Amino acid sequence: MTRVYVGMSGGVDSSVTAALLVEQGYDVTGVYMKNWSQDLPGLKCPWADDLADAKRVAVQLGIDFKVFDFEQQYRDKVVQYMIDEYKLGRTPNPDIMCNQEVKFKLFLDTALEDGADMIATGHYARVDHGEPVRATPQNRVFPIGIGDGGNDFEEQHAHAHLLLAADEAKDQTYFLYRVTGEALQKTLFPLGDYAKAQVRDMARTRGLWTATKKESMGVCFVGQVGMRDFLAQYVQSQPGDIVDTTTNKAIGRHDGAIFYTLGQRHGLEVGGGLPYYVVGKNMDKNEVYVSQNMNDGAMWKNELTLTGLHWINKPAANGEPLRARLRHRGKLLPASLSGATLQLVEPERAAAAGQSAVLYRGNECLGGGIVA
C-alpha cells in the first residue's frame, strides 16, 4: 500500500485532500508543518488553532498525525527572502518561495526519509505522472552498481508534468511553477479535478471539523495580517516624497517607499479629483512616483526581462507560442520567450519587479521567471 504524507494546514482544502486519499485506499499520515508561530503587535498568530483543527480532522479520519517543525528554515528561506526583496524595492511572492523551498523540498525530503512514498497537498492543480519507462544502457540515470555486462537496470519514471486545475478560477499552478518535475513525480493533488464549492460540499457531507472554516487571507504564514503591517516589524519607516511624474513636483509624503508597488492606487492619500497610481519608485532617493494617467507608459509593458528562469522539465523553445500569467488569477496572455526576454502580444499593466511571470503551453505549466 502506497504511504502518503498529507500536508494538513487546518483548512478545509487539506482536510478534504486527506479524506479523499483515505477513501482511495492510501496509507495516509497527516502532517502539520509548523512554519511560523510568532505573534505580532495586536495580532495573534493562528498556528495553534490551525494545528488543533488539523489534529481533529486526523482523528475523525483515523489516520496518524505528525508535526514537522520547519520554523527556522522557513525564516531563513522564505521570510528573510521576502524582507530582503522588499528592501530592494521589489515585489516578491512568498507563497512561491514557500512551495519551492519548504513544501516541495524540505517537507518532501523529510517525509521520504520518514518512510513516505509520496506527499500530497490541497493545491488546486493537476499532475500528469506519465508512464513508467524501462531503463536502457542509453537512458539509465541511476546506476545500480556493477552489473553483468550492462544488463542490470532499474525501472524509471518520466518526470511529472504540472497541469492547470479543472477550476481555472481557483487554479494555483502560478504558485507552483518553481517546483521540479522530480518532486511532482512524488506528489499528489487530489483537489485538481474539483471546484472549491464541490470541496466545501465534500467536507460537509463527510462531517469534517473544518467544513465551514473560512479561508485565511493576508500574508501566507501569519494569517490575517497585511503585508504592510508585517513589514513594519522588520524595516524602519523612512518618510519621503510622493512625486507627480507629470509636473515632477512633490504632492504628498509617504512613510516608506518599501511599502508601495507598481500600479497601487489605495493608500496614497494625495489630492482629490482623478485617482493617482504608483508608476515607479527610487529606493536610493526614497521617492514614490505617481500619475493620474492610466495609460502611463511606465505601467504598460509588452516586453519583460526575466531572471532566475526555472523549468519544471524541459525549457520552452525560443520564440515558441506560449501563454504567460503575471499574477495569481491573472489572465493567460499570448506570449513568447527569447532567451530571458518575455514578449507579450499585447501590453500588460503593472508588471512589477520581483513578481513572477509563469509560462504555459496549452494547459501545462512549464515554469517561468522573476520580472527584473
Catalytic residues: 98, 220
Q: Which three cell numbers stand for residue 189?
A: 493533488
Question: What is the rounded distance in angstroms from the CA atom of residue 268 to the CA atom of residue 159?
Answer: 47
Residues 6+ apart with CB under 8 A from 126: 162, 163, 164, 165, 166, 189, 192, 193
Question: What is the rounded distance in angstroms from the CA atom of residue 76 to the CA atom of residue 142?
Answer: 32
Residues 6+ apart with CB under 8 A from 284: none
DSSP 327: S
DSSP 272: S
Question: What is the rounded distance in angstroms from the CA atom of residue 371 to the CA atom of residue 325?
Answer: 12
Residues 6+ apart with CB under 8 A from 310: 177, 178, 367, 368, 369
Sequential DSSP letters for 61-121:
HT-EEEEEE-HHHHIIIIIHHHHHHHHTT----HHHHHIIIIIIIIHHHHHHHTT-SEEE-
The identity of residue 144, as a single letter, is I
Question: What is the rounded distance in angstroms from the CA atom of residue 360 to the CA atom of residue 333?
Answer: 10
> Is residue 313 classed as helix, strand or coil in its secondary structure?
coil
Taking alpha carbons only, the member of 229, 267, 256 closest to residue 45 is: 229
- How far is the CA of 232 from the CAs of 86, 91, 109, 227, in angstroms? 11, 15, 34, 9
Q: Which residues share a beta bridge with 364?
A: 163, 361
- How far is the CA of 61 from the CAs of 3, 23, 27, 53, 58, in angstroms? 15, 10, 12, 13, 5
The identity of residue 105, as a single letter, is K
Question: What is the rounded distance in angstroms from the CA atom of residue 58 to the CA atom of residue 329?
Answer: 31
